[in-house]
Structure 1
Amino acid sequence: MTGSGRQTTPALAGKIRRYVRSPSTRMAAFGGLLTYLSYAYAHGSWTNPTLICVSVFVGAFLPSYAKLSNKAELWANNQFGFVTAGRLGRFLPQLAFNLVMFWLMLWGGALNQLGISSVGGFAGAALVTTLASQGTQFLGGYFVARGVGDANRNTLVGLLVNVTLAALGTAGVPYAREAFLIVGFVLGGLFFGIGLLSDIRSKVAPKGGIGMYFGTFNPFHNTHLAMLERVIRERKLDKVIIHPVLVPKLHVDAFRDGHLRVGRLEGGFQVYEKTDKADSNVDYFPTGNKFLPPETRKALIELAVAEGGLSDKIEVAFYPEIYNTKGFQGVIAEIKRRYPDTRLHAPHGTDFGGMLVRQIVDECGWIYPWCILRRDNVSATAIRKGAKGMTSGVVTDVLEQLSQNPPAVTVGGRRFRNDNGVLTEGD
């Protein structure tokens, strides 16, 4: 037990150090301090014990709260497949949290009675605060999609901005109260309004046009192929353009900042690992930490599409210069340039990556989403863990060859050089 204790203590100490060093932890601590200072100043509650306790709780719990909000939204998306459902999944837990916080502060005498009454009491304050929070978090997600920040940290920034405005607004400070109400209802209205319009477009979409299918495809599996066949049939599409993620934007920034590295090659997959610089409050691997190189994923898509007899309906695009600088927003702009005045559709799943794609296409104009609920248990995650029978014959063949890391891979009449999992066609 003593030896085990010696081994465990340094590991625990290391986790604590990484947690304390985390930018998200420091930002949360600042959020707790800001909560105290804002409400103490606005409501004259400098020595109120309830406000002090609430502020300490906020400072300690905020990183976990941000993660839980993201997970609640993801769960609702997976259950229902509607943007509005996902946003309600994020909204309702936060509303419940704010109701409890405002009730406690009102009960503990930390709030100005007249000020809180002017915004509809503790329930009104909680509602407006939550709406404003949703709006600022939506803006945070907008920036994440463009490579600015990450989901958890941007969520925290939105919450912190909202704290100051809520404190002044609930105190009835002239102009601050009006700004608090306007920001809450306007940003909240936009947050739910944009999602509702997206859901309507997904259900009343006209037929014809071109589809755009984005994702990691890590690797391309049977459900991907079935989705393509179904969307082409149901939306009567001329073709679908597939563009795989090269390196997820979250990982681009993490590699650049020294938070991640490629640790090893495992069965043809590059295994990403966190370094000591990694932020302990950031989920770097929402879809796993094993990735086939983008060149290999592109080759697998082409091979599977050809085997499935869909080559005349599928175009596999690969715009590394555009994607690396402008992400999928740039890829969409390029497709619009190539196909002006053409109706665009966007098939996607309800997993993390699929709903992120949905958010991106919703921000890029009047594009018609096509959403499918994932209920068949076929997933790239399961395949990476060793599941069999989920990929077409040609993909299965390539993955089996890559697991041996040979110098060349031959499949479907095509020969590829293999450089540690990177497939390049040719001798």
Structure 2
Amino acid sequence: MAANGGKEKPTQAAVWTPKLNRYLRSPSTRMAALGGLLTYLSYAYAHGSWANPVLICVSIFIGAFLPSYAKLSNKAELWANNQFGFVTAGRLGRFTPQLAFNLVIFWLMLWGGALNQLGMASVGGVAGAAVVTTLASQGTQYLGGYLVARGVGDANRNTLVGILVNVVLAGLGTAGVPGAREAFLMTGFGLGGALFALGLLSDLRSGMAPKGGIGLFFGTFNPFHNSHLSLLRAAIDQRGLDKVIIHPVLIPKLHVDAFRKGEIRVGRLKDGFQIYEKTDKADSNVDYFPTGNVFLPPETRVALIELALAEADMADEVEVAVYPDIYYSKGFQGVIAEIKRRHPDVQLHIIHGTDFGGMLVRQIADECGWIYPWCILRRDQVSATAIRRGAKGMTPPIVTDVLDQISQNLPTVSAGGRRFRNDNGVLTERNRND
């Protein structure tokens, strides 16, 4: 038969084999498998149920499902944050599905004879074990998030580590092993309870904040849009702020680490935006781009913020401060410390939205001392993602003009009386004599 010259359609095996290989190579997959093994060993040793078929099935299920469980937990918290704007609501959003999961697992294992009934009774039965396990899980996962905010690990993998620690404590604690039961209860009610108490305290600070002081506004601003201006005006008016300090994310610390490891790269340029993409070294269970994979260069984002503030006649009320050395070495924790050093004894307010980045900023601020949150529930449909996809009418006029000049790849970009050299979207201000 003559060849028709067309390309052969790839088989299902050809499509799924590379994905399966990446999944099996993923550190998160191996960590989940370790979680399943630890579940089996902990409960089998403590409860004497080495040959119990229910425990074996539960352990296999946990080993396979754990990465998805971590992702779903993070998404549940993010959904609750976006709906209500309270830290406590977000943590309840994570707590509730995890509690339901733990109730089912403990009931199945008790029904199947995999658990020591006296040991379970000592921690309050199925309900008590599920509540304590979930609280302990919240606490250990919070510690994982604390490390993420400091550039250590990623949200899903750190969540997995927290769950693994909790698995061993729960297995030994529910069997009444001396010392383990007390550690199990203390981790649950102590660490988990403290987590909810800190979140409630943050929410109370948000509702009882005094007037005056300095606002802090951190984010990618990718690009700076109309809602950013609205948030600034509302925060200044409602909190009576003396000024707001904006510090944009330069390159997110998650991406700096992933670039260093060769897990992501800049795949291509489009209209001045850098398109990040995963490489073959990427962990298939890691969400490298929780806020998207399309970025304007840091220098350009800073210039757009300054131009938009000048156009809106807000340059006297808002300061754009960029401390690259501090940010790259110590993150926003270091930036906040520097602002405190420069403005001693001044009340600080953190301005944030309820998306992933906004609530991460809120968490960082909560960990940096007595800072008053000012939270806004975004309902205006203005989206940086939509802007990056070409939506119009969502950015200040001067930002729209600059983005249009960049998209034409003009060698020089002029706006607001300033001139910039344009190198594939990277804006560098020219001297007036150039």
- Over residues 171-221 of structure 1, what are the superposed CA-to-partner deviations in whole Å (9 max), with x where a residue is unaligned? 001111111101110011111011000000001000000001000000000
Q: Does 1:212 align with 2:212?
A: no
Determine the C-alpha separation between the residues in 2 that align with 1:52 and 1:9.
Answer: 30
Q: Report the equivalent of 2:183.
A: 179
Determine the C-alpha separation between the residues in 2 that align with 1:207 and 1:8.
Answer: 61
Q: Report the equivalent of 2:411.
A: 407
Q: Report the equivalent of 2:323.
A: 319
What is the aligned counterpart of 1:153 among 136, 150, 157? 157
Q: Report the equivalent of 1:164.
A: 168
Say how many residue pairs are matched.
Answer: 426
Aligned AA (1:316)? V
The CA deviation at 1:405 is 1.6
1:405 partner SS? coil
How has the CA–CA distance of structure 1 residues 417 and 3 changed in structure 2, closer, same or farther, with 3 Å as cutoff? closer
Determine the C-alpha separation between the residues in 2 that align with 1:11 and 1:339.
Answer: 57
1:214 partner SS? strand
Structure 2 counterparts to residues 246-285 of structure 1, below 5 A: 246-285=250-289
Q: Report the equivalent of 2:19.
A: 15
Structure 2 counterparts to residues 19-418 of structure 1, below 5 A: 19-418=23-422
2:10 partner SS? helix
Structure 1, unpaired ranges of 5+: none
1:265 partner SS? strand
The CA deviation at 1:310 is 0.4
- Over residues 328-375 of structure 1, what are the superposed CA-to-partner deviations in whole Å (9 max), with x where a residue is unaligned? 000000000000000000110011110000000000000000000010
1:212 partner SS? strand
Sequence identity percentage:
78
The CA deviation at 1:140 is 0.3
Aligned AA (1:206)? P
1:205 partner SS? coil
Determine the C-alpha separation between the residues in 2 that align with 1:6 and 1:207.
Answer: 63
- Over residues 28-54 of structure 1, what are the superposed CA-to-partner deviations in whole Å (9 max), with x where a residue is unaligned? 011001100110000000000000000
TM-score, L = length of structure 2: 0.97
- Over residues 355-402 of structure 1, what are the superposed CA-to-partner deviations in whole Å (9 max), with x where a residue is unaligned? 000000000000000000010110111101111100000000011111
2:268 partner SS? strand
Determine the C-alpha separation between the residues in 2 that align with 1:356 and 1:381.
Answer: 18
Determine the C-alpha separation between the residues in 1 that align with 2:400 and 2:304.
Answer: 10
Determine the C-alpha separation between the residues in 1 that align with 2:255 and 2:336.
Answer: 21
Structure 2, unpaired ranges of 5+: 1-5
The CA deviation at 1:9 is 2.6
* Segments of 4+ moved more than 3 angstroms: 2-8
1:282 partner SS? coil
The CA deviation at 1:7 is 4.8
The CA deviation at 1:3 is 6.8
Determine the C-alpha separation between the residues in 2 that align with 1:273 and 1:404.
Answer: 23
